[in-house]
Amino acid sequence: MKKTSYKMEAKVWLYPGINPWHFISIPKKKAEEIRKNFGSRHRGWSSLPVIVQIGKTIWKTSIFYERRSGTYILPLKSEVRKKEDIFKGDKISFLIQIKV
């Protein structure tokens, strides 16, 4: 049976623009494992549906495979960042469960 839950740590970064977004890049080793096990299930924009937990906040979203960096990125909604007091540059722990 394939592992579907991944606990990890990563830094929050900001994608600049008129309406900037905060993201987390999945550590490469975890990204390689996720892609190997679930890459065949990618949806549009190479996305995979996931359930994420940061602190006490749990939500449904998607992670997106980014070919240039060779990893998945996780967008962080402002609602989640406010609830969990998360800012650019913070190193945070989180849990991702791939929805299969």
pTM higher than 0.85, yes or no? yes
pLDDT at 1: 57
Buried b or exposed e, range 62-90, using 16+ CB within 10 angstroms: bbbbbeeeebbbbebeeebbeeeebeeee
Identity at 95, one-letter amino acid code: L
- CA-to-CA distance for 5 and 34, rounded, in angstroms? 10
Note the pLDDT tens digit of each residue in 2-29: 789 999 999 999 998 888 899 999 999 9
Averaged pLDDT for residues 63-90: 96
Angle ∠(77,44,69) on CA atoms, nearest 5: 70
